[in-house]
């Protein structure tokens, strides 16, 4: 069948590579895609916010399956509109994508179905929120309810910090996303990501990962979309994974179904592993970026087959096969990221990096400029390697990074440090 993939980042390059490898995939189109996805299929300049244009494209190109990468089109209801037009599409409906689109929605669901998460309150009035913070104490966490591109969470260690976050959010600093805030208890522990593939009724584990959100080595500096990741996350032992399925994922699926908004798609749980067990920090309604770049290279199963099974409600008959290898990805970003960056600098050395065994260089923010590849965003490349252990994958990934000739870029030098320290015991 012909497949259309929506998105343009490193996650979509990884998805495009795995989708195109499936015997079920005839032609793959990516809208809008990037120079990396064009190695796996045909990029098309579609305006994905124009749902009718996407539907028309699917009809003309006889697309049998649409896979949506990022959250914005999910929250905008693209899957609903495609489904209504009789086109199979992977990802949650608009109503189900509220698990990512609204933090207040998710916290209320957790409260209703007894899902472990930080205690919370919701506020639309800044003064009431501040009075609550004063009575509660610090540390405390202030979150914008809506999608805020990674800028909507402030872990406040002082009243001043909490209050200025409340003023900024409710005052419109994040647009409508901050009109309501969720204020929640600070959770102490190590973070890990757990992915589940869901078909509305059944969920199966879809791998684990850990990422590095801070821009500088040693987890210092401002938050970013993620500077690197690795999979699996050994801290999520088989016992803990079973507990996450039982206490967090399955009650969520039951709750969503009982509300008449069954969840189909990837459910990405950001977890805090506290001394009282795993607690949900947040849900995402999609695969992670850059986590996908370390999950999919480890998946031996046919991606198209399993995503179709999820759409068709048939996951109870699917069991996934994973490589024994570990994967690690290093994000190469343009200097200045996560602040303003310059676009247009040339990147060389792809061939040398990819000539190494078990190395894949995913394009995240690049552009084709004649016969050159140039930087076109903040996070630009995801240099990924597979290895026997995380340490082995880390060594290979950094060897590949050294082959990339891009003076205007930088990366963290310590991706995977927690897992490598754990492997060394
Ligand atoms: P989120 O966008 O909800 O994943 O939050 C971004 C980051 O803020 C998380 O990855 C955590 O590092 C931190 N965070 C969010 N909520 C809490 C919490 N309740 N306690 C401690 N840290 C948190
Ligand atoms: N890497 C974090 C995310 O995809 O949300």
Q: Is the CB of 289 under 6 A from ligand 2?
A: yes
Closest ligand 1 atom to residue 186 Cα is 20
Q: Please tell me the predicted confidence (pLDDT) of residue 127.
A: 96
Task: Using the mean position of ligand 2's atoms as its centre, give its distance from the Cα of residue 332 in Å.
Answer: 16
Pairing of strands 346-347, 190-199: unpaired
Domain range 119-185, CATH architecture? 2-Layer Sandwich (3.30)
Q: Please tell me the predicted confidence (pLDDT) of residue 412.
A: 98
Task: Using the mean position of ligand 2's atoms as its centre, give its distance from the Cα of residue 321 in Å.
Answer: 24
Q: Is the pLDDT of residue 148 over 90?
A: no
Q: Which CATH class is domain 190-317?
A: alpha beta
Ligand 2, atom 5: closest residue by C-alpha: 288
Helix (H) or strand (E) run with residue 295 in it: helix 292-295
Q: Is the CB of 81 under 6 A from ligand 2?
A: no
Pairing of strands 2-7, 63-68: parallel
Q: Is the CB of 138 under 6 A from ligand 1?
A: no
- DSSP letters, 221-283, are EEE-S-SEEEE--TTS-HHHHHHHIIIIIHHHHHHHHHTT---EEEEEEEEEEETTEEEEEEE
Is the backbone of residue 418 left (phi > 0), alpha (psi -120 to 50) or beta?
alpha
Out of 145, 153, 213, 273, mutate this one to test ligand 1's pocket (max ligand atoms within 8 Å of CB): namely 153
Residues of the chain with pLDDT > 90: what percent?
97
Structural domain boundaries in the chain: 2-94, 119-185, 190-317, 326-423
Task: Using the mean position of ligand 2's atoms as its centre, give its distance from the Cα of residue 158 in Å.
Answer: 27
Query: pLDDT category, 206, cuts 50, 70, 90?
Result: very high
Gap between the Cα atoms of 270 and 290, Å rounded: 14
211 Cβ neighbours under 8 A, 6+ residues apart: 193, 226, 227, 228, 229, 288, 290, 291
pLDDT digits (tens, 9 = 90+) for 163-186: 999 999 999 999 999 999 999 999
Nearest 5°: the CA angle 281, 283, 284 is: 135
pLDDT digits (tens, 9 = 90+) for 294-309: 999 999 999 999 999 9
Domain range 2-94, CATH architecture? 3-Layer(aba) Sandwich (3.40)
Q: Is the CB of 292 under 6 A from ligand 2?
A: no
Q: Which of 293, 318, 288 is nearest to 305 (CA)?
A: 318
Instruction: Tell me what the mean pLDDT of segment 199-218 comes to.
Output: 96
Instruction: Tell me what the mean pLDDT of segment 61-89 comes to.
Output: 97
pLDDT digits (tens, 9 = 90+) for 302-360: 999 999 999 999 999 999 999 999 999 999 999 999 999 999 999 999 999 999 999 99
Instruction: Tell me what the mean pLDDT of segment 385-410 comes to.
Output: 98
* The two structure tokens encoding residue 413: 């030098």
Q: Please tell me the predicted confidence (pLDDT) of residue 3.
A: 98
Gap between the Cα atoms of 290 and 376, Å rounded: 17
Instruction: Tell me what the mean pLDDT of segment 251-271 comes to.
Output: 98
Q: Please tell me the predicted confidence (pLDDT) of residue 223.
A: 85
* The two structure tokens encoding residue 231: 């999979």
Instruction: Please tell me if the domain spanning 2-94 has the same topology as the one spanning 326-423.
Output: no
Q: Which CATH class is domain 326-423?
A: alpha beta
Query: pLDDT category, 23, cuts 50, 70, 90?
Result: very high
Q: Please tell me the predicted confidence (pLDDT) of residue 150.
A: 74
Out of 155, 210, 276, 279, mutate this one to test ligand 1's pocket (max ligand atoms within 8 Å of CB): namely 155
Pairing of strands 63-68, 89-90: parallel
For residue 94, how many other CB atoms are within 10 A of its CB?
Answer: 17
Ligand 2, atom 4: closest residue by C-alpha: 288
Identify the residue with better confidence: 87 or 223.
87
Gap between the Cα atoms of 381 and 364, Å rounded: 5
């Amino acid at each position: 069948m012909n497949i259309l993939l929506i998105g343009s980042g490193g996650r979509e390059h990884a998805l495009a590579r795995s989708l195109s490898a499936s015997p079920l995939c005839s032609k793959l189109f990516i809208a809008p895609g990037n120079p990396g996805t064009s190695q796996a299929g045909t990029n098309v300049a579609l305006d994905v916010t124009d749902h009718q244009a996407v539907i028309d494209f699917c009809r003309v190109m006889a697309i049998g399956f649409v896979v949506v990468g990022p959250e914005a089109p999910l929250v905008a209801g693209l899957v609903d509109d495609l489904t209504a037009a009789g086109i199979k599409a992977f990802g949650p409906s608009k109503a189900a994508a509220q698990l990512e689109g609204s933090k207040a929605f998710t916290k209320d669901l957790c409260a209703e179905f007894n899902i472990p998460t930080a205690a919370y309150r919701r506020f639309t009035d800044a003064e009431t929120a501040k009075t609550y913070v004063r009575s509660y104490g610090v540390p405390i966490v202030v979150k914008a309810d809506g999608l805020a591109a990674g800028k909507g969470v402030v872990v406040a260690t002082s009243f001043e910090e909490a209050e200025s976050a409340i003023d900024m959010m409710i005052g419109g600093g994040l647009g409508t996303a901050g009109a309501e805030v969720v204020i929640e208890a600070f959770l102490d522990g190590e973070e890990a990501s757990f992915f589940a593939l869901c078909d509305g009724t059944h969920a199966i584990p879809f791998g684990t990962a850990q990422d590095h959100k801070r821009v500088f080595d040693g987890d210092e500096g401002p938050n970013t979309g993620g500077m690197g990741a690795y999979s699996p996350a050994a801290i999520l032992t088989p016992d803990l994974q079973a507990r996450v399925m039982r206490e967090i994922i399955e009650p969520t699926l039951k709750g969503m179904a009982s509300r008449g908004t069954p969840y189909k798609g990837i459910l990405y749980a950001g977890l805090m592993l506290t001394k009282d067990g795993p607690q949900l920090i947040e849900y995402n309604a999609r695969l992670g970026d850059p986590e996908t770049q370390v999950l999919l290279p480890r998946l031996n199963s046919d991606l198209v087959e399993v995503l179709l099974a999820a759409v068709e409600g048939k996951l109870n008959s699917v069991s996934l096969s994973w490589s024994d290898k570990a994967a690690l990805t290093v994000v190469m970003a343009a200097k200045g990221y996560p602040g303003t960056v310059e676009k247009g600098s040339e990147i060389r050395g792809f061939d040398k990096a990819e000539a190494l065994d078990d190395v894949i260089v995913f394009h995240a923010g690049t552009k084709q400029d004649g016969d050159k590849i140039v930087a076109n965003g903040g996070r630009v490349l995801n240099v990924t390697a597979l290895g026997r252990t995380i340490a082995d994958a880390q060594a290979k990934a950094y060897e590949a990074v050294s082959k990339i000739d891009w003076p205007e870029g930088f990366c963290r030098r310590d991706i995977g440090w927690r897992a490598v320290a754990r492997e060394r015991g």
